Amino acid sequence: MEIKTLMIENRILYVRLPCNPIFPIGVVYLADHVHKQFPGIEQRIFDLGTVPPLDYASALDDCIDEFKPTLLVFSWRDIQIYAPVGGRGGNPLQNAFELYYAKNPLIKLRGALGGLRIFIAYYAELWRNQGLIKRGLKRAQKYHDNARAVVGGGAVSVFYEQLGKSLPPGTIISVGEGETLLEKLLSGDEFQDERCYVVGETQPRNRLIHEQPTPLEKTACNYDYIEGIWPEFNYYLQEQDFYIGVQTKRGCPHNCCYCVYTVVEGKQVRINPADEVVAEMRQLYDRGIRNFWFTDAQFIPARKFIDDAIELLQKIVDSGMTDIHWAAYIRADNLTPQLCELMAKTGMNYFEIGITSGSQELVRKMRMGYNLRTVLQNCRDLKAAGFNDLVSVNYSFNVIDERLETIRQTIAYHRELERIFGVDKVEPAIFFIGLQPHTHLEEYAFKEGILKPGYDPMSLMPWTAKKLLWNPEPLGSFFGEVCLQAWRQNPNDFGREVMKILEEKLGCADLEAALSAPIDTKEKQLAGIS
């Protein structure tokens, strides 16, 4: 009886905290799931990604006054901003590198000022989002004394331990997918066995993030329903260039040393039934959407999932949605000629390969499980199948054991990719790893004495940020200078310029050297960490 009352009385407001306008697929899936379990519950989606910054607080107030929620589901997507792209406060990588590595004092000063701007923007954003959570909760409690907040999403999954210190007591902090947590919460069941904790009441369990998510069979999202609870839904339908998220699976079985996806989503790969994925795409297609982003950590996580990818793409072909485009993170070691043909045929027009290095030796040391020779062969198959669009190849230099020879190998590898796809079609995306908690790289940093346990991974204080933006010496300054030169010479084509400068300075290895990886004893160092 009590459960029924709880179910009927609940009014759930999903607040997607401010974010670049990326389709808020997380809250859409949560609302869809809750509706399927509890059709009687009133729900509303409110996306601050579509609201101008000056209006955040007042728009949130208005929405709460009107909807009077009993449960606030805050979704926080991203916090970390280390990337070689114009972030919200400027180009963080460039500023940091100018500050750390520039020899010219004026450039150093410019880096310091730019860094300060980003520093301020970063903390302002953190405080603002925490402020919005507190404000929203307080406002909802005006209408319902026991209104409650649950906080989750990508950023919370990574920084769940830190965020608990600044959120109101009683807030539930959730890691990873939130469907079963919400289900238990709404049923009045014990929910703390899910990957979560309650601020002021419980501490996050040791290795909480490593716990496996509760299995869940995903069905096609019901967009007729979503449209009805989300007044601004059309915002994402108007622009033709939005890639709308569709998830086809969860989980990644790999162990790449710097990656946290594999713990956030879990190692167990769970495939969403192809018919359900296509049915979901069809609803978006009928609303005019032609661009889709398969938001999986990896679209083809391992060879044993090739058949699932083939089944899905074949069903897309059979559905007659022939004028679509799609993009995804692709492990290009897991392709077959048949899959390549289907990828080209179904309109894949962009993909990212995160090989990180073109040196097989380093790829192995980073525990990435890639065979670079296979990747090249598969890229040739993809090209032969008619793929003629953009590939972004993510390189992160200097992760572990980088040497001049391994840099030369990366250049050789990249040049081969250019020969396959065409120079203008392969974009080298030069990242430096932003060190994340719960990764092997973090363990390695502890072991090497670079970081001490208890450090704050969210800190942007210059002395911490310099360590988290992973670019250790002895090669750190060298890469710093190369990047600065690239920004000076050709800021609009940064990645290609970096490759060019590196080749001018160091030359290019034989491709064969890049593809073969002699086993060396040092490798065991990282392999021993778990």
Q: Which does 256 bind (CB under 5 to 8 A by kind): ligand B12, ligand SF4, none?
A: ligand SF4
- Residues 257-316 binding ligand SF4 (CB under 6 A) are 259, 261-262, 297-298
Q: Which does 484 bind (CB under 5 to 8 A by kind): ligand B12, ligand SF4, none?
A: none
**Residue number with CB closer to ligand SF4 (140 or 297):** 297
Number of residues that bind ligand SF4 (CB under 6 A): 10
Q: Which does 262 bind (CB under 5 to 8 A by kind): ligand SF4, ligand B12, none?
A: ligand SF4
- Residues 346-405 binding ligand SF4 (CB under 6 A) are 354
Q: Which does 331 bind (CB under 5 to 8 A by kind): ligand SF4, ligand B12, none?
A: ligand SF4
Q: Which does 30 bind (CB under 5 to 8 A by kind): ligand SF4, ligand B12, none?
A: ligand B12
CA separation for the pair 225, 524 (Å, rounded): 53
Q: Which does 245 bind (CB under 5 to 8 A by kind): ligand B12, ligand SF4, none?
A: ligand B12
What's the closest the beta carbon of residue 230 comes to ligand SF4, in angstroms?
Answer: 29
**Residue number with CB closer to ligand B12 (247 or 334):** 247
Strand partners, 246: 294
Half-sphere exposure of 282 (CA within 13 A, CB side): 14
**Residue number with CB closer to ligand SF4 (150 or 399):** 399
**Residue number with CB closer to ligand SF4 (273 or 369):** 369
What's the closest the beta carbon of residue 219 comes to ligand B12, in angstroms?
Answer: 13
Helix H or strand E encompassing 235? helix 235-238
Q: Does residue 157 bind ligand SF4 (CB under 6 A)?
A: no
> Tokens standing for 452?
């001490």
CB 98 within 8 A of CB 108: yes
* Four-CA torsion 365, 368, 372, 373, nearest 10 degrees: 100
Q: Which does 456 bind (CB under 5 to 8 A by kind): ligand B12, ligand SF4, none?
A: none
Please calculate the CA angle 171-174-180 and round it to the nearest 5 degrees: 115
**Residue number with CB closer to ligand B12 (353 or 509):** 353
First and final CA of the chain: distance in angstroms? 47
What's the closest the beta carbon of residue 177 comes to ligand B12, in angstroms?
Answer: 3
Site string for ligand SF4, 233-262 (x = CB under 6 A): -------------------x-x-x--x-xx
CA separation for the pair 157, 173 (Å, rounded): 9
CA separation for the pair 422, 453 (Å, rounded): 45
CA separation for the pair 415, 507 (Å, rounded): 12
Q: Which does 476 bind (CB under 5 to 8 A by kind): ligand SF4, ligand B12, none?
A: none
* Four-CA torsion 180, 184, 190, 192, nearest 10 degrees: 30
Give backbone dihedrals phi and psi of 353, rounded to 5 degrees, phi first: -110, 125
What's the closest the beta carbon of residue 333 comes to ligand SF4, in angstroms?
Answer: 10
Contact positions toward ligand B12, by CB under 6 A? 20, 22-23, 25-27, 29-30, 73-75, 77-81, 83, 85, 150-155, 157-158, 174, 177-179, 181-182, 243, 245, 247, 260-261, 264-265, 293, 295, 297, 436
What's the closest the beta carbon of residue 195 comes to ligand B12, in angstroms?
Answer: 9
CA separation for the pair 453, 344 (Å, rounded): 47
**Residue number with CB closer to ligand SF4 (96 or 252):** 252
CA separation for the pair 456, 442 (Å, rounded): 12
What's the closest the beta carbon of residue 8 comes to ligand B12, in angstroms?
Answer: 21
Q: Which does 254 bind (CB under 5 to 8 A by kind): ligand SF4, ligand B12, none?
A: ligand SF4
> Tokens standing for 360?
């097989």
What's the closest the beta carbon of residue 262 comes to ligand B12, in angstroms?
Answer: 8
75: closest CA among 47, 94, 102? 47
Helix ranges restricted to H, 422-472? 440-447, 462-468
What's the closest the beta carbon of residue 408 comes to ligand B12, in angstroms?
Answer: 28
**Read out DSSP for 357-418?**
-S-HHHHHHTT----HHHHHHHHHHHHHTT--SEEEEEEETTSSS--HHHHHHHHHHHHHHH
What's the closest the beta carbon of residue 441 comes to ligand SF4, in angstroms?
Answer: 11
CA 524 to chain centroid, in Å, comes to 29
Q: Which does 85 bind (CB under 5 to 8 A by kind): ligand B12, ligand SF4, none?
A: ligand B12
Q: Contact with ligand SF4 (CB under 6 A): which of 331, 364, 365, 383?
A: 331
> Tokens standing for 428?
């080298």
